[in-house]
């Protein structure tokens, strides 16, 4: 059963999303408003050093805990429907993961639609991955994580790396991933009134901006339609009230059928990416479990010589 605080958040979200969707709204204006709002509340990250960097024209930031002997490197891809959000909006949540996993986190400010449509996001994720390898970081000490659209992008990155035949990360965590832009999941129907945050209409509008005419069934846009053989271990957390619930359940089912090590947890009564609400007990519990998975994956395969350094 959802906590009292989670039920209060559910009420507030329903009030905030009650206004009818404006199909003509400019995502760029919404994005700017969200980023300005985020900067008012994400300026301080206790125990974390924030360093803005440039990866050959791709903005990103390092979040580094103020502790020695970091476990490895986390590549984080933020959510926002491929049209909004940034490292600024996600800094508190990713900082929590970095602290608890004792890992450096590279948060990528990948290009967004409508200015940059599919496949700009996956191109930027690949650029960040290749840059990490070029820094001499062993792939077996790198994990990848993402929420919502960033979760789908994380899965698309794994698929691209597998198909290239190159090295893969040690594992990936997906938080309420958006993995099917065709919206074919049955939870779009069954959870239409249960979801306090998302609507299928809103998801369709975001996918319209992002795809710009590309097929929503392209496996790099909708990883659900891909083959999952050969992927590294997956760790999935999803809210039980989401219209995107089936985006997680069906991915987990396909991963198991492909002999991929996958663990999924459905948080009953919780909304989309509830981990972003740091004051919820379920958020703290979920992030703790995700951080433990990331740390375990980054340290299990570390070369012996690094452990001895």
Active-site amino acid positions:
148, 242, 272
Q: Are 200 and 192 in contact (CB under 8 A)?
A: yes
Tokens 């619930």 identify what position? 245
Both tokens of residue 54? 């440039």
Parallel/antiparallel/unpaired status of strands 142-147 and 104-108: unpaired
Angle between helices 87-101 and 281-300 (to 10 degrees): 60
Q: Distance of CA 176 to CAs 2, 118, 198, 277, Å?
A: 17, 20, 12, 14
Q: Which two tokens stand for residue 272?
A: 């989309």
For residue 243, how many C-alpha atoms fall within 13 Å in the half-sphere facing its CB? 19
Please give the C-alpha separations between residue 103 and each of 34, 41, 50, 181, 257, in angstroms, as whole numbers: 27, 23, 13, 32, 31
Alpha-carbon dihedral 280, 283, 285, 287, rounded to 10 degrees: -150
Closest residue by Cα to residue 156 from 111, 220, 74 = 220
C-alpha 290/C-alpha 234 separation (Å) is 11
Contact 59, 127 (CB under 8 A): no
Q: How far apart are CA 286 and CA 272, in angstroms?
A: 13
How deeply is 33 buried, as exposed, middle or buried, from its count of CB atoms within 10 A (0-12, 13-18, 19+)?
exposed
DSSP 245-294: HHHHHHHHHHHHHTT--EEEEEETT--TTGGG-TTSHHHHHHHHHHHHHH
């Amino acid at each position: 059963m959802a906590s009292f605080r989670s039920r209060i958040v559910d009420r507030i979200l329903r009030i905030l999303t009650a206004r009818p969707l404006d199909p003509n709204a400019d995502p760029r204006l919404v994005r700017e408003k969200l980023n300005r709002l985020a900067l008012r509340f994400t300026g301080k990250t206790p125990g974390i050093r924030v360093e803005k960097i440039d990866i050959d024209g791709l903005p990103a930031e390092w979040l580094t805990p103020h502790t020695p002997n970091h476990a490895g490197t986390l590549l984080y891809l933020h959510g926002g429907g491929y049209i909004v959000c940034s490292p600024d909006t996600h800094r508190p949540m990713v900082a929590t993961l970095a602290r608890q996993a004792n890992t450096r986190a590279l948060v990528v400010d990948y290009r967004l639609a409508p200015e940059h449509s599919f496949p700009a996001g996956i191109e930027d994720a690949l650029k960040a991955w290749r840059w990490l390898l070029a820094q001499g970081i062993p792939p077996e000490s790198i994990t990848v994580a993402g929420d919502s659209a960033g979760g789908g992008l994380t899965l698309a990155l794994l698929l691209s790396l597998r198909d290239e035949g190159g090295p893969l990360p040690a594992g990936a965590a997906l938080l309420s991933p958006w993995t099917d832009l065709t919206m074919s999941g049955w939870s779009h129907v069954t959870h239409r009134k249960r979801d306090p945050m998302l609507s299928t209409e809103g998801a369709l509008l975001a996918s319209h901006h992002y795809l710009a005419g590309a097929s929503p069934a392209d496996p790099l846009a909708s990883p659900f339609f891909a083959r999952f053989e050969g992927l590294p271990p997956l760790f999935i957390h999803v809210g039980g009230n989401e219209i995107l619930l089936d985006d997680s359940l069906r991915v987990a089912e396909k991963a198991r059928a492909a002999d991929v090590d996958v663990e999924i947890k459905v948080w009953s009564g919780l909304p989309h990416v509830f981990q972003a609400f740091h004051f919820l007990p379920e958020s703290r519990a979920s992030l703790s479990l995700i951080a433990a998975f990331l740390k375990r994956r980054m340290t299990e395969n570390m070369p012996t010589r690094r452990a001895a350094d």
